[in-house]
Structure 1
């Protein structure tokens, strides 16, 4: 059974792309066949995995508008995951999809021919709640919300949760909200803990563990064209490896994901 996990938050700068790249690499290291889908016209995931978006002949845009089959567009990466890349053309796909009936199901239909080739599909949703994000949520089995551990970081979380609820009611009743993933976490301060406690209390949203620490290694990894797991051991890589193992155990054995409360 292929697991499809969307990483979504309409706020930018919360480590969505880093989470997809790092979690994908960590799952690949656990012998999972992983496909990562860049659904953001900014194409940061594509760039961070070593491909120049401006030089692509084909992208997810061509798949969504029906001009290419998914198998023709997939790319290999240094981390062992397969990439469905994006470029700026994807911005135009959103306008085209708005005119189509059943537009929210376009990505799900596009992924179907390739889904049996992968154990896990990770979707990097754009920082908006437009038709591309709706496609990501409709195609997914579950969703994780990366949440920056800073003041006002949870602004918009309520709106995202309402969107998830609407998707569950209309296009994808089986979508499971796994929880918020703390990112840019600084264990030395009480401020990060206070932000997470506020999110948990205000929205009743599980806060997943382990928290992803703030480290310069993430920026260095993106510039190198590989995930943070490709370099020497560091605390960011350790956190994503632990999260990947936790997810895989939950998928194969059942049970619940570790939460921040139990982690502490």
Structure 2
């Protein structure tokens, strides 16, 4: 059960369900399907959480599809670059297919342009995102070497560099997406 795989972290109120090496084999397991079992497990969970974040792999396989089926909202991270922009077409089709077939309530809440800089290409990427996901907040997360350093240390950028530009970019997006606790949404 999901609750047995849920662990409290050192951050108060933050719980995690870590993946394991066996999770990758689900992509190739013929018994694993687009069945909504993750959505069911999340709804049955007794963990004291307000928000569940599903970090799905970038490949559009069974794990990502099941994440989309289980989600109410999706945040699309897209690195500003040619390959990622090409992959956006497949992602757009996959999200729309899940909305049509398994999860009509799924909303694309935001698209985050990671490694953003002031370039013409970043502008083209933003335009593609606005075209494909007109309902979404389109937000930049500025390129910052401190983000890569945080990953090397296995820490969130907020813990290692709380004043980094990227941290403030994500803070701004969070304020747009999340209601202030205690207020009506």
TM-score interval, smaller chain: 0.7 to 0.9
1:177-256 alignment to 2 at 5 Å? 177-187=108-118, 189-201=119-131, 203=132, 205=134, 208-232=137-161, 233-249=163-179
1:1-264 alignment to 2 at 5 Å? 69-80=1-12, 81-96=14-29, 98-99=30-31, 103-114=34-45, 117-187=48-118, 189-201=119-131, 203=132, 205=134, 208-232=137-161, 233-249=163-179
- Point out where structure 2 has 5 or more consecutive residues left out of the alignment: none
Name the Cα RMSD after superposition.
2.5
- Point out where structure 1 has 5 or more consecutive residues left out of the alignment: 1-68, 255-264
Change (3 A) 1:200 1:94: same
Deviation at 1:191, TM superposition (A): 2.9
Q: Name the TM-score, length of structure 2 as normaliser.
A: 0.84
**Is 118-127 or 76-85 further displaced after alignment?**
76-85
Secondary structure at 1:125's aligned position in 2?
A: coil
Q: Which has the higher contact order (CA 8 A, sep 6+)?
A: 1
Contact 1:196 / 1:207 at 8 angstroms: preserved in 2?
no
Q: Name the TM-score, length of structure 1 as normaliser.
A: 0.61
Q: How many residues matched?
A: 182
Secondary structure at 1:124's aligned position in 2?
A: coil
Change (3 A) 1:73 1:116: closer
Contact 2:34 / 2:65 at 8 angstroms: preserved in 1?
no
Secondary structure at 1:120's aligned position in 2?
A: coil
